[in-house]
Amino acid sequence: MPTVKEIATILEKLAPLELAEKWDNVGLQVGRFDREVSGLVLALDLTTAVLKEAQQLEANLIVTHHPLIFKPLNYLRFDRPGGEVWEQLLTGNFSIYTLHTNFDRSADGLNQYLAEQLKLEKTAPVEEGVEEYLKLVVFVPEEAIDQVFTALTNAGAGWVGKYSHCTFRMAGVGTFLPREGTTPYLGEQGVVEYVNEIRLETIIPARNKKRVIGALLAAHPYEEVAYDLYPVAQATGRAGLGRVGALPMEMCFEKFLAEVKNLFNGQPLRWGGYQRDRVKKVAVLGGSGGKFIHQAKQKGAELLITSDLGYHDFLLAEQIGLTLVEIGHHTMEAIGLQRIKEYLEQDPLLTKEFQQRIYISQSKIKPYNLF
């Protein structure tokens, strides 16, 4: 059986912790990394019903979207509202792991999954500038270029949008003079060496710098590796809240609404703002998206699908020519649990036997009813 740490490592490839909002609390919240995982339940929130479900499934790791702990706890009282969850949690030896806004923002997380379910094409985040990128330049002897290239790209370098292994190569001549105490890969001490080298350039997320540079140094044959890192000014990457993209073809607005409702299992929706007959370019943002109305419009969206909209949001949208469609917060985010399940199931670290022990909670997640 895998450990909690091994599961967390897979999840953090999907949703890097660094992408979370500063106010958020993600990662392992309860438990220990070295505990073996007997089974895994994916849930939107941690409730007593989810805990009971996990017990019945003999699963001791629960992965939630919404954090159990948002702020520091002053006490743990089992006789206060919500205390029964903590009592069952601690006596049942469960581990709780959360991926929240880091999953919302990640390149292949919740919002990308929603965009794919809506069949949006040529998608980009609604929110820009989430990740900082660096340009890496390294000089490699010709005979070692392929091994360095492979090490860098395997470590996460070279992604531009949905394209991987993006690099640039340029041939030249490098010089160096090995001094006393060196053990040069080429040449000898005290003699200037001229080497045919390749200037290899690529792009890396700043958060991956340590991993990528570690892979570079391990693969490069030189005793001292000459490399440079430059900040990249332009907005780039696929990380960020929301997605905006185009439908395969322009649609009748009412037909599109019907398809959206069907995607979310017939759950009620509200719509308002600008009145339109047809739609082509759509933005989607899981969770509370009212503050992104202007960004969605600036990205060229005709329509924004999101949650937790207020009266003034609809008025603003009407004024700027944007149509709003509101889906329940829980309904939009619960659909992302399937993405997490699929991502875990494709990881070669997890055996087929364990993959069969990954469950999506069937407990009721809707926190209200419509009369």
pLDDT tens for residues 244-275?
A: 999 999 999 999 999 999 999 898 899 999 99
Please tell me the distance from the alpha carbon of residue 311 to that of residue 316, in angstroms, as a whole number. Answer: 9
Q: What is the mean pLDDT of residues 53-65?
A: 95
Give mean pLDDT, residues 176-202: 94
In the chain the domains, ranked by start, together with CATH numbers, are 4-99+336-360 (3.40.1390.30), 110-128+240-328 (3.40.1390.30), 133-231 (3.30.70.120)
pLDDT of 235: 59
pLDDT at 207: 86
CA atoms within 13 A on the CB side of 61: 27
Give the three-state DSSP class for 101: helix
d(CA 244, CA 301): 7
Average confidence score pLDDT of the chain: 93
Closest by alpha carbon to 201, among 159, 172, 158? 158
Q: Give dist(CA 277, CA 235) in Å, integer.
A: 34
Parallel, antiparallel, or unpaired for β 133-141 and 227-231? antiparallel
Is residue 350 within 8 A of residue 10, CB to CB? The reply is yes
**pLDDT recorded at residue 163:** 87
**7-50: pLDDT as tens digits:** 999 999 999 998 999 999 999 999 999 999 999 999 999 999 99
**Predicted confidence (pLDDT) at residue 236 exceeds the cutoff of 80:** no
* Residue 324 confidence class, pLDDT cut points 50, 70, 90: very high
